[in-house]
Structure 1
Amino acid sequence: MNDETLKMAREMGLNPRSLIKNIPSPSQQWKAPVSTWIREMYQERLDKARRKKERKEISAE
């Protein structure tokens, strides 16, 4: 993981224990690597916040 991914994890309130728990084992082929998982979750949260802000602006008009 690089500094950017760690920064994203900290912003979302993830601690080292939760990151370690999400490292895929050989029997968990369906799990994404931790750095990919963090990036996807971060993007989803940003998108959700953006949509919420847009709805709020529309309703305020």
Structure 2
Amino acid sequence: MARGVEVSADALVRSHSDSGPASFADEEVLAATIAREYDHVLQQRAGEHLRRPLAALEDEA
């Protein structure tokens, strides 16, 4: 997980993400947060959250 990013793994199974204030610390961290959340969207669209452990998806994102 990118340093300073606070996103819970269970955000994968909900329709929104849980990002803490650290996710918006600066432009670099914000860009990393958005990219990571986009990875989760792609995982969810592919149905990966139904076949694989959430921890594995979180590590991959």
Report the TM-score when normalising by structure 1. 0.40
Name which one, 1 or 2, has greater alpha-carbon Rg.
1
- By percentage of residues, which structure has more helix? 1
Report the TM-score when normalising by structure 2. 0.40
